[in-house]
A and B are shown apart, each in its own frame.
Chain A
Amino acid sequence: GENVEQHPSTLSVQEGDSAVIKCTYSDSASNYFPWYKQELGKRPQLIIDIRSNVGEKKDQRIAVTLNKTAKHFSLHITETQPEDSAVYFCAAGSDSWGKLQFGAGTQVVVTP
């Protein structure tokens, strides 16, 4: 079955710096890679996703890259702001995008 590993588990950055979170997956059939942001006590919110036929996708300060050969995908947040502080989860799916395997999460803390 699918196994998604996520690193680092915690990430502290100064406001304005960049943050990078990396994930690896094991199932070659995976073709959909979403990223969710979860604030304390709230629901996971989809912030960006990428499909296997695309290598990179950007949405304002957030970008995701995918290396299918290496089975790696990464989230990049530029110009971090205090409101970016949250837990970020990567996930991978194949035959259904609601049937996801999640990473363990990265606690991002942005200090002013």
Chain B
Amino acid sequence: ETGVTQSPTHLIKTRGQQVTLRCSSQSGHNTVSWYQQALGQGPQFIFQYYREEENGRGNFPPRFSGLQFPNYSSELNVNALELDDSALYLCASSYRLNTEAFFGQGTRLTVV
């Protein structure tokens, strides 16, 4: 069992609202990546944070934003929620950039 934890586990929001998801990386890990996994699909890379700086971004609009704290935990913020944002949001932490990534259990977001 990995030490990557996410909160909350489930969340229901209304279209147009804003949401913040949280990720605590495994002890000693300084890199956090966020993914969106729609039902029946593979995870899609949103962005990565390395030592509190964004280190790459996937094909997601600016209303998806994030940050990483000095303790390397991270947040994913989504503004102006749309129905298509309903998905499982996963974070993954790594010890360094070129080491294995371990996933948290995810946050299931439902937008109604």
Contact = CB atoms under 8 A, between A and B. Distances in A.
Given A99-B45, A99-B48, A104-B42, A46 B102 contact: yes
A43 B89 CA distance: 10
B100 interface: yes
Contacts of B42: 6, 89, 91, 102-105
Nearest to A107: B40
Given A96-B97, A97-B99, A102 B43 contact: yes
Q: How large is the interface on A (under 10, 10 to 19, 20 to 34, 35 or more residues)?
A: 20 to 34
B74 to A, nearest CB: 12
Interface in B85-102: 90, 92-94, 97-102
A32 to B, nearest CB: 7
Contacts of B44: 102
A48 B84 CA distance: 32
A36 B106 CA distance: 15
A112 interface: no
Contact of A98 (B48, B59, B104): B48
B105 A97 contact: no
A95 to B, nearest CB: 7
Contact of A96 (B55, B90, B93): B55
Give me the 5 closest cross-chain CB pairs, A-B, nearest first.
A102-B42, A98-B33, A98-B101, A96-B97, A43-B103
Interface of B: 2, 31-33, 35, 40-45, 48, 50, 55-56, 59, 90, 92-94, 97-106
Given A43-B103, A44-B103, A100-B43, 14 more contacts: A32-B98, A43-B104, A44-B43, A46-B101, A97-B97, A97-B100, A97-B101, A98-B33, A99-B48, A99-B55, A101-B45, A102-B42, A103-B42, A104-B42
Interface of A: 1, 6, 32, 34, 36, 42-46, 49, 89, 91, 95-105
5 contacts: A43-B2, A97-B94, A102-B42, A103-B42, A105-B40
